[in-house]
A and B are shown apart, each in its own frame.
Chain A
Amino acid sequence: MPTRLIKRFGDWLGTWRGTCEFSDGRAGLMQFRLTSVFNGEAIQVDTASYIPESGAPMTRGSGFFSLDRQGRVVNNIYADYLGFAVLVETPDDPEVLSLEGGLPGNMTLTVTMSVANDLMTLSSRVGEGYKSAPGRPRTYTQMKRVGPIQRPKGDAP
Chain B
Amino acid sequence: MTNPLIRLAAWIGDWAGQGEVADGTEILFRMQVSSAAEENAVCFHMESWIGEMQLLHGLRLILAPRPDRSLHCMGFSTRFGMVNLTPTPDDEDVLALAGPTTSGMQLSFSLIQQDADTLIATGMARPQDAPPGFTAAGGTHGTLRRVTPWRPPGP
Contacts and interface: CB of A to CB of B under 8 A. Distances in A.
A104 B66 CA distance: 10
B88 interface: no
Given A37-B60, A68-B81, A86-B102, A76 B75 contact: yes
A23 to B, nearest CB: 16
Interface string A25-39: 000000000000111
Given A48-B38, A64-B60, A83-B67, A157 B76 contact: no
A2 interface: no
A140 interface: no
Contacts of B76: 37-38, 41-42, 44, 64, 66, 76
Interface residues of A, number: 28
Interface stretch (A13-21, A54-62, A115-123): A54-62
Given A76-B84, A84-B74, A38 B60 contact: yes
B75 A64 contact: yes
Given A42-B60, A62-B41, A77 B81 contact: no
Nearest to B74: A76
A80 interface: yes
B82 interface: yes
Most chain-A CB neighbours within 10 Å: which of B32, B66, B76, B78? Answer: B76
Contacts of A76: 74-76, 82-84
Interface string B49-93: 000000100101010111100001011101001111000000000
A74 B36 contact: no
A99 B32 CA distance: 30
- Chain B interface helix/strand/loop/mixed: strand
A6 B121 CA distance: 31
B10 interface: no
A61 B55 contact: no
A78 interface: yes
B45 interface: yes
A80 B36 contact: no
A76 B59 CA distance: 14
Contacts of B55: 38-39
Interface in A76-105: 76-78, 80-84, 86, 104
30 contacts: A38-B55, A41-B76, A42-B60, A42-B76, A42-B78, A44-B76, A48-B37, A48-B38, A60-B40, A62-B37, A62-B62, A64-B74, A66-B81, A74-B81, A74-B102, A76-B74, A76-B75, A76-B76, A76-B82, A76-B84, A78-B64, A78-B72, A80-B40, A83-B66, A84-B64, A84-B72, A86-B74, A86-B82, A104-B66, A157-B32
Interface of B: 32, 34, 36-38, 40-41, 43, 45, 47, 55, 58, 60, 62, 64-67, 72, 74-76, 78, 81-84, 102
- Name the 3 nearest CB pairs between A and B, nearest first: A60-B37, A64-B76, A38-B58
